[in-house]
A and B are shown apart, each in its own frame.
Chain A
Amino acid sequence: NAGVMQNPRHLVRRRGQEARLRCSPMKGHSHVYWYRQLPEEGLKFMVYLQKENIIDESGMPKERFSAEFPKEGPSILRIQQVVRGDSAAYFCASSLSGTTTRETQYFGPGTRLLVL
């Protein structure tokens, strides 16, 4: 069974460019979460999506950041007009169910974004 897939694994952008990060959940999982890990800090929740729906985006900056999880294809985290402070590791996780105590989130390998 393939785990959570993320690509690219490393992404370098110049200030002002756009960054697109992709996440394919584990097979059968319909719940996707994005987390950001800044250097020397813990993982911070950004957004929780189900297919075609944003359930909780309370951790996502109001400007420049958006996320989607279309009916077909991977979930996309999009950062417009990147700034140096966006440099971080972005992790995607998926779960089978969002509401059952027994379900846990399984993480992908992350995308390391570097903004020059």
Chain B
Amino acid sequence: EDKVVQSPLSLVVHEGDTVTLNCSYEVTNFRSLLWYKQEKKAPTFLFMLTSSGIEKKSGRLSSILDKKELFSILNITATQTGDSAIYLCAVLRETSGSRLTFGEGTQLTVNP
């Protein structure tokens, strides 16, 4: 059975701090790994990573995938209170018919 484990489960930081969120996976026929941000409503798409070692960047957020060690990290620099959310990691298999397998998420709280 596919497994996605995120750590830490929760994290409290102050504005301006840099955070690193972790996601490790055990998946047969891995295709890609996705990061989502979930506030009170819809998970919003952040990144899709398919290749190892290529950093994806969007503003203060960046992410990288290591397919040899089976993990990904999501970095947020200069955090703001608006970054407070649950960050979800999910994996997609080649043969899964496009179903996503999610981790439990990391609850990030950024205090002013």
Residues of chain A touching chain B, judged by Cβ–Cβ distance below 8 Å, are 3-4, 31, 33, 35, 41-45, 48, 55-56, 58-59, 91, 93, 95, 98-99, 101-102, 104-110
Check A48 against B88 for contact (C-beta < 8 Å).
no
How large, as a class, is the contact surface on chain B? 20 to 34
A107 nearest CB across to chain B (Å) = 4
Residues of chain B touching chain A, judged by Cβ–Cβ distance below 8 Å, are 4, 31-32, 34, 36, 41-45, 48, 50, 88, 90, 96-105
The majority secondary structure among interface residues of chain B is strand
- Tell which of B42, B90, B98, B101 touches A95, judged by Cβ atoms closer than 8 Å: B98
CA A42 – CA B65 in complex, angstroms?
21
28 contacts between A and B (CB under 8 A): A3-B42, A33-B98, A33-B100, A35-B102, A42-B4, A42-B88, A42-B102, A43-B43, A43-B88, A43-B102, A44-B102, A45-B100, A48-B97, A55-B97, A56-B96, A56-B97, A95-B98, A98-B98, A101-B32, A104-B34, A105-B98, A105-B100, A107-B36, A107-B42, A107-B43, A107-B45, A108-B42, A109-B41
